[in-house]
Amino acid sequence: MIVVEAQSLQKNYNGFPAVAGIDFKIHRGECFGILGPNGAGKTTVVAMIYCFLPISGGKLTVLGKDVTLEPRSIKTKLGVVPQENNLDLELTVRENLLVYAGYYGICRSEAQKRAKELLHFFGLSTKADQEVEQISGGMKRRLTIARGLIHTPEILILDEPTTGLDPQSRRLIWEHLRKLKKRGLTLILTTHYLEEASQLGDELIIMDKGKILEEGKPLELIKKQVGAKVVEVEISPGQSHALLGTLENLISGYQIAGNTIYLFVAEDENAAVELINSSGYVQTYRVRPSNLEDVFLKLTGRGLDYAETEETGFIL
Ligand SMILES: Nc1ncnc2c1ncn2[C@@H]1O[C@H](COP(=O)(O)OP(=O)(O)OP(=O)(O)O)[C@@H](O)[C@H]1O
Ligand SMILES: [Mg+2]
């Protein structure tokens, strides 16, 4: 069942096309990932879905309702975790949940019960009575997710849920999101972390400059665009063309960034490596599994603009 459908969806900010006519469908129970670098339009897309920003053109339906006609009814069925934490720092962890429950008209006893369950689920029970100011960044993020779930929404929208967190906190949040998905919740997640997109996303759209560059399941996208392996070759720029000439039939594409060529190997990386070794042009090389960053690199000629050494060992 389709729960969100965008047709030629547009958003202009004073004439600037932040979302430039895109189409996508989100199905119930899936984790739909929107991957893209800064300024791609990710927040703008989700803010239109949760009826915070009016659309400028096209059509957008959420749970069968048109966002321009029934925004109130849509909002009650969505949970939102915004890009910036907007918790009330002076209230306690539990009070943050209870105040939010009040906005949705949930009675006090039901809110207490729900808050207790959510604090337990997110490992925050022992922090319930502390002021939010005193808890860690990862805990604040978990609390913001818990808050988004207080009214038992049908869809949870997460705008960059782990940006700025350390890898351990990030992985803990991934665990929680996986559990929520197992319970049948539909997740819509924006991220510029390629590992997050491939770990959590069932279906992805890759966005850049307000457009969708590619869409599909993470592994299928990688297979289709770049194949299984990438060979990274260090070479002096003057010799790249000679090397590429000898490899012509063995690669499905390449990108050059400084002294590095990323070779997207079509099928047989061993044959490519043999040629690289015998070419005499190459100083060093390494073979590694391909990833979504390679897909982005191939599609745009540039990286996602992040030096993600921790997650990928891969700096552009
Ligand atoms: N209120 C606004 N007024 C004018 N331009 C805006 C506004 N909000 C966003 N933009 C522009 O629209 C484009 C898309 O912005 P958006 O915040 O949706 O991108 P994003 O993919 O979420 O980026 P990030 O990864 O930095 O969060 C950017 O070029 C941004 O500068
Ligand atoms: Mg954003």
- What pLDDT, in 10s, does the model give residues 289-308? 999 988 988 888 776 654 34
Closest ligand (CA of 45): 1
My answer on whether 179 and 196 are in the same domain is yes
pLDDT at residue number 305: 54
My answer on whether 248 and 211 are in the same domain is no
My answer on whether 90 and 228 are in the same domain is no
My answer on whether 308 and 274 are in the same domain is yes
Alpha carbon of 6 to ligand 1 centroid (Å): 19
Alpha carbon of 39 to ligand 1 centroid (Å): 5
Residue nearest atom 12 of ligand 1, based on CA coordinates:
18
Residues 12-61 have pLDDT tens digits of: 999 999 999 999 999 999 999 999 989 999 999 999 999 999 999 999 99
Question: The domain that contains 100 carries what CATH number?
Answer: 3.40.50.300
What total number of domains does the chain contain? 2
My answer on whether 210 and 235 are in the same domain is no
My answer on whether 45 and 160 are in the same domain is yes
Residue nearest atom 1 of ligand 1, based on CA coordinates:
13
- Tell me the CA distances in angstroms from 113 to 92, 110, 151, one per residue in order: 16, 5, 12
Identify any residues that bridge with 231 across adjacent strands, giving them in sequence order.
Answer: 263, 287
My answer on whether 227 and 212 are in the same domain is no
Alpha carbon of 209 to ligand 1 centroid (Å): 10
83 Cα nearest atom in ligand 1: 27
My answer on whether 207 and 267 are in the same domain is no
> Is the per-residue pLDDT at 238 higher than 70?
yes
Element (H, E) at 62: strand 57-62
37 Cα nearest atom in ligand 1: 25
Closest ligand (CA of 39): 1
Alpha carbon of 197 to ligand 1 centroid (Å): 20
My answer on whether 198 and 239 are in the same domain is no
Residue range(s) defining the domain that contains residue 140: 2-217
For the chain, what is the mean pLDDT? 91
Alpha carbon of 298 to ligand 1 centroid (Å): 23
Closest ligand (CA of 35): 1
Of the three residues 217, 248, 278, the one that is the final residue of a domain is 217
My answer on whether 227 and 210 are in the same domain is no
> Is the per-residue pLDDT at 174 higher than 90?
yes
pLDDT > 70: percent of the chain = 95
Residue nearest atom 28 of ligand 1, based on CA coordinates:
39
Which residues have CB under 6 Å of ligand 1? 13, 16, 18, 36, 38-44, 83, 192
Q: Which of 11, 16, 160, 163 to mutate to test the pocket of ligand 1 (most atoms within 8 A of CB)?
A: 16
40 Cα nearest atom in ligand 1: 21
Of the three residues 217, 232, 258, the one that is the final residue of a domain is 217
pTM score, whole prediction: 0.90
Question: The domain that contains 254 carries what CATH number?
Answer: 3.30.70.940
Give every CB contact of residue 231 below 8 A, 6+ residues apart in sequence. Answer: 262, 263, 265, 269, 272, 273, 276, 285, 286, 287
pLDDT at residue number 304: 62
pLDDT at residue number 287: 93
My answer on whether 210 and 231 are in the same domain is no
Residue nearest atom 26 of ligand 1, based on CA coordinates:
38
My answer on whether 138 and 233 are in the same domain is no
18, 12 contact by CB (below 8 A): yes
Of the three residues 171, 201, 217, the one that is the final residue of a domain is 217
Q: How many Cβ atoms sit within 10 Å of the Cβ of residue 207?
A: 26
* Cα–Cα nearest to 305, from 12, 36, 9: 36
Residues 306/310/311/316 CA torsion (nearest 10 deg) = 30
Identify any residues that bridge with 212 across adjacent strands, giving them in sequence order.
Answer: 207
